[in-house]
Each structure stands twice: as structure tokens, then as C-alpha cells.
Structure 1
Amino acid sequence: MQTLESLNQTLQTHDAVMLYFSAPTCNVCHALKPKLTEAIMDNFPSFVIENIDISETPEIASHFSVFAIPTVLIFFQGREFLRKSRHMSVGEVIEDIRRPYNLMLA
């Protein structure tokens, strides 16, 4: 099980991190997650992806001010760059992070 400390360590040691917040009862979360994960890994191989089940670790969701699911947080060099909740498409997430990713990591 993840802890806030382990997530903070991941954010400090990797240049590109995606946090994916979901819950077992969220059907949209389960439909979106494999598509988004595959698209991120295909387009941005340096990304580290962490999946957070808010039903198991509500304190992590609270720490990151996540109150709706699914929520995606994108971090570059430890700083939050992008936050998407509920209604998002895989294409829009990919396009939103393409330029900064390429500038920092290409």
C-alpha cells in the first residue's frame, strides 16, 4: 500500500510522474485507466505512473486536494503541472503534456 512518504519520494526522484486517483466503485476510472496508461507509456516513456485507490488511502487524496474521481495529476520535476478531473479524454491529456515533456526530457 502506498504512503504519502513513498509518493513524495517518487515525485522528488523522477522528472515526470502521473498520479491516477480512482476507486473500485468508479466504472469511468476503470475504463479510462488502461487507455491513458498505455497512451502515456507509448508517447512519454520516462513517465512514472502511480495509481492511488482513494478508498484505501483517503489521506493521500486529501493531501493532494483530490475530491472527485477519476483525477489525474501530472508532475514535472516535483511540481504539479496539470490537473484533470472527471471529464477528460486521453487525447487532451496527451496534448497538454507533449510540449513541456519534450522540452524537459527530450
Structure 2
Amino acid sequence: MIELNTLEEMDEFIKNNIIAMFYFSSESCSICGSLLPKIEEMLIKFPEIKISKIKVDTFTKAVGQYSIFTLPGILVYIEGKEIIREARFISVEILEKTIDRYYSLLF
């Protein structure tokens, strides 16, 4: 997983990947730290999805640009369009089912 630190890097990440996922988190968010390994484990089933971690503590511009109001937050872009937005109480099972529907159409 790579960490992006500029809006330009985020734009390039979206453009260069068919499916791009952003994981927004904070050092002070205990749920953010415990959810990330579950998300990474789930993504093993979807090798074409590229994920990037965004630390909102140091990259505050991303919060405003992408309208992130609660943490943790997940945004999934497919072919440059935002398709999935989840935040706060994220069910890994529901997220996986949603991703699987789109993933099976593309690959």
C-alpha cells in the first residue's frame, strides 16, 4: 500500500488504475488502525484493485477536496469515477459484496 501526500498524486493514482481505493485514516482513530488489516485481507481476492492510504492528520487538503467528514473513510474509483463511498461504520462483508459486483464486470 502506498501513501499519497498531494492532490496531484491522488489524481494520478485514479487515472493510472482501473480500480483505485483510498483509505482515509487518522493516527488518533483506533478503529482506523484495526479496520485496515481487514480491508487489506479482503483485497487479496481482488488483485487488480490498487489501494492508497491517506493520513488526514498530515494531508488535510485531501479531506476538503474529497469531502471526508468521518473516519475511517473509503472511496473507490472505477475508471476515474467515484463508485463507492463508505465511512465510519464500515461492514467489510457488505463492502466486499459491493466491490465483487463491479469487479466481476470488469475482470
Shorter-chain TM-score bucket reads over 0.9
Task: Give the 5 Å matches for 1:82-93.
Answer: 82-93=84-95
**Pair 1:5 & 2:22 matched:** no
Considering only aligned residues, what root-mean-square deviation do their CA atoms show, in Å? 0.9
**Pair 1:38 & 2:38 matched:** no
Superposition deviation, residue 30 in structure 1: 0.3
Match of 1:52, SS state, is strand
- The alignment-based identity, stated in percent, is 30
TM-score, normalized by length of structure 2? 0.93
Residue ranges of structure 1 left out of the alignment (5+ in a row):
none
Total equivalences in the alignment: 104
Superposition deviation, residue 88 in structure 1: 1.1
Per the alignment, residue 64 of structure 2 pairs with 62
> Letter of the aligned partner of 1:13 in structure 2?
N
Superposition deviation, residue 26 in structure 1: 0.2
Q: Which stretches of structure 1, 4 residues or more, deviate above 6 A after TM superposition?
A: none
TM-score, normalized by length of structure 1? 0.94
